[in-house]
Structure 1
Amino acid sequence: MAASTEQFDLVVVGAGWFGLAATKTYLEVHPDARVVLLEAESSVGGVWGKNRLYPGLKSNNMVGTYEFSDFPMDEKTWGVKPGQHIPGQTLHNYLTAYAKKFNVLPRVRFNCKVESVERGEKGGWILKTSANAAASMVTKKLVVATGVTSQAFLPTFEGQESFGEPLFHSKDFLAHADTIKTKKRVTILGGTKSAWDAVYAYAIEGVEIDWVIRESGHGPCWMAPPYVTPLKKWLEKLAHVRFLTWMSPCIWGEADGYGGIRSWLHGTAVGRFLVDRFWAILGGDLVTLNKYDSHPETAKLKPWIGAFWTGTSLSILNYDTDFFELVKGGKIKVHIADITQLSKGKVHLSSGEVLESETLLCSTGWKHSTPFTFIPSGLESELGLPHVQTSEVEPLTEQVDAEILSLYPRLAKQPKKNEKFKPLCDTKAVLQNEESLSALNLYRFMVPANAELLATNDIAFAGNLMAITTAIIAQTQALWITAYFDGKMLPFSATIHSTAELDERVTALQHSATLHNRFGKWRYPGGWCGKIPDFVFDALPYVDLLLKDLDLKTRRKGGWLKEISEPYGPEDYPGIVQEWLDKDKKDL
């Protein structure tokens, strides 16, 4: 019997924030389209899927900033009061309800992992999935919304086969949640927010914890109280006050229309002095509020890099009780060392210490490689996805580096590197290449800057970035991608009259893509260092950039003073899809 083939107008892969928004938006514009959403897990939600809701999990965001503009998280419905962080279960329920309300849920195929994506001979894409290996899906358009936190990076350790105790990544914490109740002493590896969360989950249950933060790594992440600065302002809101976004050098920053002010702040000695003072006050306030130096153990948790350079490794203390008191109380022992090997019930450190351990939880980050195979081989490079690269520096890279440092000379003074730093690699050869993979290089962080692929405009990547502005960016990217697919957005909708004109356009797009992606290497060495887009104070101008592409208004506050002083949030972007549809009708 011949293998069956299903035909679709659009396939979306991944049912987290970005995949749900992409599906909902495309259907809003194309209600009769044949659309399917493929999800490898058994529920929607991505990081908030039911398989990842370990005990005590909450959002870093407080209610009011982590919701779609057209689906508010009101207190009566969801039970989360102002000033509270959102429980993980509530977020899962919210995203499920969103999918139901906008008729996305009936189009989701659960437990359907994409294994390969093949380029069609005349455009479009052919997908093979784990759900039915004998069948294939053919789609005119494809959105990959698997994000950057779907593939756990779990290293292997010498002697781990003899450890004899649970050893797992923080992504799989729920599957091992019984260790909170059944184990008396555990080891946690990592300095990221997920490590802090795991430490807290065990500590409040009385489990003794050895917390290992690699001496060859990036150190502990920055942790902030929800309210910061001497004025006690809501940190999430501060990052979305237009005036304060100017304090971050941003290569796409002039999209907000205030390029002159930004140029003065970052291009003059006086301006840079003011910017440095702002970051010194913010970073100093966090150190003071957390009282790192008040105890030998909490002193080990002081970040190794300035707040200015940290990217989305900046996180929030969203715990019910004082985290640092648990450290001072002795239940949590912090070790700045590397794990050299494992033996039966023991974790061996580079410091010479040997830790008795009944569990090893690794908060060791994520792979940034694509979670499935693209066919033919080498297509990842054409798409702008991570691929094995040569050691040669391309001329365009050198050009944009010079451009970045010319505009923002402050970035040339990079923070001192950890002299002991070395990448955390796996002993399996297939994973050792992870560090050698190229960075993402997508135009607007979404589409390939490749002549052939731009001509067919049939693939886009949603959510291939890290930011604290998830919901707003997800819905804005979803609309941008829909307009891109429809060929109704400059420069993609402009008619090309000659080969020379095509070459000129592609060159401009490639320059823009490389400039924006390479910027992260200089701006956030304490974050993803340009491997993937990673930003905090730069999110609002990124949304401005996408809205300008869509020819929608960016200044939405109704007055100059409000525009620069009041924080932006989901409430400022209701009905943007209808705005675009109305504008599109007028343009016909």
Structure 2
Amino acid sequence: MIDILIIGAGPSGLCAAKTFLQHNPNSKIVILDSHSTVGGVWSKERLYPTLRTNNLYPTMDFSDFPMKDAGIGRPGHHITGEEMHAYLTAYAQHFDLMKKIQFNTRAVRVQQGPTNDGWKVEIQGPADLISTVTIPTTLLETKKLVMATGILGVPSMPSLSGSSTFDVPLLHSSALGPQYQSVLQNPNINRVAVLGGSKSAYDTVYLAATTGHKVDWIIRKSGRSPSWVFPSHTKIGPFKAWREKLVNRRISTFFSPCVLPDRSGNQISWIREFLHTNNIGKAVTKKFWEIMHEDTIKDCRYRSDSKSKGKGDDERGDFSVLEPPHSPFWYGTSSGTLNYEQDFKALVTSGQVTVHREDISHISPHTIHFSDNAGAITVDALICATGYSAKPPIDFFPRELHFQLGIPTSTDSLTEEQKVAWDEYDKRADGIIGERFPQLVSPPWSTTDNNTNPSPPSTKIDTKYTPWRLHRGIAPPGLTAAGNNSLVFLSMHSSVTNIPRIELQWSIAPFALRAFLPAFLPEFAQKRQGKQGNLRTKPAGASLTTRLQIQPVHQSSKTRRYFNDGVRFDPLWDMEDIILI
């Protein structure tokens, strides 16, 4: 019997193993990972030449093992994929974690033990990223289970009509590492199409263009628009500000809605309420985001005017087509950084990259056909930078347990009682959010867009899964409320910084069987829901106060972060989210 089984040897999994071993050096800990090296998304097999962090050195390291101690990274530079992999390898070696890791092993199914105390995990191995061979499973039993797989486990691949006869490479951007040589170093591939408008699409376009390919960049006109991707620094008045550091400044966080408890202290905690509920404060907040919006447009040089045009800009390609339609306020962590050595805009304005704001109707041999008779293009490869599915990478069995765990599940697996319960909490949460942050109730887009202008079936994003509903983004609400502290989830959110160490301080509490929920829920319920915080009725799975806490957090993410994956998991955008979670 294993004491603690950790699934995932990326930053969160490694940090978890180190933390739990420091807490109890005699614990029997095993780490599983499907890759052959440490790092998760930074494992050696996932790397490609132009891969870099959005963050600048040294904001991606752990405080107890700085990158400078490993001799990795350069101040003021983005961290390369090779450097991140080298750092995480050095981290694992420094804390003697390598002997705990079982590589090339994939966890495929998890179920509770016979007495609901502990977990049984079916594993397959060896495995690889693109293996389709069925491998026999074996069973591991563990007292405690840590899910450190993150949110990038199941690629979301569009279902394109005609793909069986496409006759050219068709892959997801997550496979660029293992398939880089066979696709982008193939002399027979000259013209590459990239589908998607997120930061991963920017990265894929840049990689293809800088390896000498003509690129057709397809961004669905029925989709949510391109993401904001801006320089690492901006000008605020006469000052040059590091964007990443802005969310570390208390004054900046006050301009962002945050439904988590405000522990800033009585002397300054009133500032956020003033800025978001008082008419004068709302005007100040609106002006702040308007200035940020306009400055970001200038920084990104989307518009061909004297203020935004850079030296050497060519006008053969229209760069303004990449300008998102709304303020960065609404995009959360779906935004990214222009972390490239070459000028990205020049690749578009020179004509090497052609942007198509069209939907795909179908594909045929070497050809992509656009909807509404908008033409077709001939390509040698199609790379889909279409994000990741809400489907958990590991199947928890039975499915009825999903409701207790707060993990995404297919909507048809919920009972009518469960659907009614969550609908009720969604409505209550919306009321709480609307009262505290009225601007979130009136977003700058039609709430019926998805109904009046649906995505074509060929490129429709999978939305049949419920969102993540974890307490503090870590604990399964049903199990924890029932006193079962044998399971935690790590990094099940998007984030602008490295926060596993903070999450793990919370995780140690339930794993050590100390109180986790009771000390915080009554206070939260009173502060956030007023009289509703006194309700004590219990729907299936968790107390009402537990659910009343989870839902405002999720619903605010769903509203504020509409243009990223806020509808599925909670992006930790504001530094106060990270500090106070």
TM-score band, normalised by shorter chain:
0.7 to 0.9
**1:341/1:503 CA distance change after superposition, 3 Å:** closer
Whole-Å separation in 2 of the counterparts to 1:545 and 1:12: 25
DSSP 3-state at the match of 2:303:
helix
Shift of the alpha carbon at 1:133? 4.1
**1:352/1:203 CA distance change after superposition, 3 Å:** same
Q: 415, 418, 436: which one pairs with 1:407? A: 436
Q: 1:283-305: per-residue Cα shift (whole Å, max 9, x none)?
A: 11111122212155201111122
What is the aligned partner in structure 1 of residue 408 from structure 2? 386
Q: 465, 477, 484: which one pairs with 2:503? A: 477
Residue 85, structure 1, aligned to residue 78, structure 2:
yes
**1:75/1:421 CA distance change after superposition, 3 Å:** farther
- The more displaced of 248-257 and 102-111 is 248-257
Whole-Å separation in 1 of the counterparts to 2:500 and 2:84: 15
Residue 367, structure 1, aligned to residue 389, structure 2:
yes
**1:263/1:194 CA distance change after superposition, 3 Å:** same
1:301-316 residue pairs with structure 2 within 5 A? 301-316=322-337
> Which amino acid in the other structure matches residue 358 of structure 2?
A
Shift of the alpha carbon at 1:255? 3.3
What is the aligned partner in structure 1 of residue 399 from structure 2? 377
DSSP 3-state at the match of 1:378:
helix
Q: Which has the higher contact order (CA 8 A, sep 6+)?
A: 1
Residue 99, structure 1, aligned to residue 92, structure 2:
yes
- The more displaced of 485-494 and 209-218 is 485-494
- The more displaced of 171-180 and 29-38 is 171-180
> Which amino acid in the other structure matches residue 226 of structure 1?
S
Shift of the alpha carbon at 1:268? 0.8
Whole-Å separation in 1 of the counterparts to 2:458 and 2:38: 30
DSSP 3-state at the match of 1:394:
helix
Q: 2:70·2:90 contact (CA, 8 Å) conserved in 1?
A: no
Whole-Å separation in 1 of the counterparts to 2:483 and 2:455: 38
Whole-Å separation in 1 of the counterparts to 2:545 and 2:19: 28
Shift of the alpha carbon at 1:531? 1.1
Q: 1:48·1:92 contact (CA, 8 Å) conserved in 2?
A: yes
Query: 5+ residue gaps in structure 2?
Result: 126-134, 305-314, 521-534
What is the aligned partner in structure 2 of residue 338 from structure 1? 359
Q: 1:17·1:95 contact (CA, 8 Å) conserved in 2?
A: yes
1:246-325 residue pairs with structure 2 within 5 A? 246-252=254-260, 254-257=262-265, 258-294=268-304, 295=315, 297-325=318-346
Residue 545, structure 1, aligned to residue 580, structure 2:
yes
Shift of the alpha carbon at 1:259? 2.5
Shift of the alpha carbon at 1:457? 0.7
Residue 120, structure 1, aligned to residue 113, structure 2:
yes
Q: 1:549-578: per-residue Cα shift (whole Å, max 9, x none)?
A: xxxxxxxxxxxxxxxxxxxxxxxxxxxxxx
**1:480/1:421 CA distance change after superposition, 3 Å:** farther
What is the aligned partner in structure 2 of residue 152 from structure 1? 155
What is the aligned partner in structure 2 of residue 217 from structure 1? 223
> Which amino acid in the other structure matches residue 233 of structure 1?
A
Q: 2:360·2:458 contact (CA, 8 Å) conserved in 1?
A: no
DSSP 3-state at the match of 1:137:
strand
Whole-Å separation in 1 of the counterparts to 2:217 and 2:164: 21
Shift of the alpha carbon at 1:121? 2.2
1:226-241 residue pairs with structure 2 within 5 A? 226-230=232-236, 231-241=239-249
DSSP 3-state at the match of 1:74:
helix
Whole-Å separation in 1 of the counterparts to 2:70 and 2:557: 41
**1:516/1:477 CA distance change after superposition, 3 Å:** same
Q: 422, 431, 455: which one pairs with 2:454? A: 422
Whole-Å separation in 2 of the counterparts to 1:12 and 1:454: 23
**1:503/1:346 CA distance change after superposition, 3 Å:** closer
Q: 1:251·1:519 contact (CA, 8 Å) conserved in 2?
A: yes
Whole-Å separation in 2 of the counterparts to 1:316 and 1:151: 24
DSSP 3-state at the match of 2:426:
helix
DSSP 3-state at the match of 2:318:
helix
Shift of the alpha carbon at 1:388? 2.4
What is the aligned partner in structure 2 of residue 180 from structure 1? 184
- The more displaced of 437-446 and 287-296 is 287-296
Shift of the alpha carbon at 1:43? 1.4
Identity %: 31
> What is the count of residue pairs matched by the alignment?
527
Q: 1:155·1:424 contact (CA, 8 Å) conserved in 2?
A: no
Q: 2:554·2:566 contact (CA, 8 Å) conserved in 1?
A: no
1:449-468 residue pairs with structure 2 within 5 A? 449-450=477-478, 454-468=482-496
Query: 5+ residue gaps in structure 1?
Result: 1-6, 495-499, 547-588
DSSP 3-state at the match of 1:347:
strand
Q: 1:229·1:281 contact (CA, 8 Å) conserved in 2?
A: no
Shift of the alpha carbon at 1:453? 6.0
Whole-Å separation in 2 of the counterparts to 1:172 and 1:364: 12
Q: 1:510-543: per-residue Cα shift (whole Å, max 9, x none)?
A: 221222222211211112133101132x2x2223
For normalisation by structure 1, the TM-score amounts to: 0.85
Shift of the alpha carbon at 1:484? 1.8
> Which amino acid in the other structure matches residue 484 of structure 1?
P
> Which amino acid in the other structure matches residue 398 of structure 1?
K
DSSP 3-state at the match of 1:293:
coil
**1:117/1:213 CA distance change after superposition, 3 Å:** same
**1:25/1:502 CA distance change after superposition, 3 Å:** farther
Q: 1:66-124: per-residue Cα shift (whole Å, max 9, x none)?
A: 1111111118711x221100000100110111111112221011111111111112211
> Which amino acid in the other structure matches residue 392 of structure 2?
T
Q: 161, 183, 197: which one pairs with 1:191? A: 197
> Which amino acid in the other structure matches residue 118 of structure 2?
G
**1:490/1:442 CA distance change after superposition, 3 Å:** closer
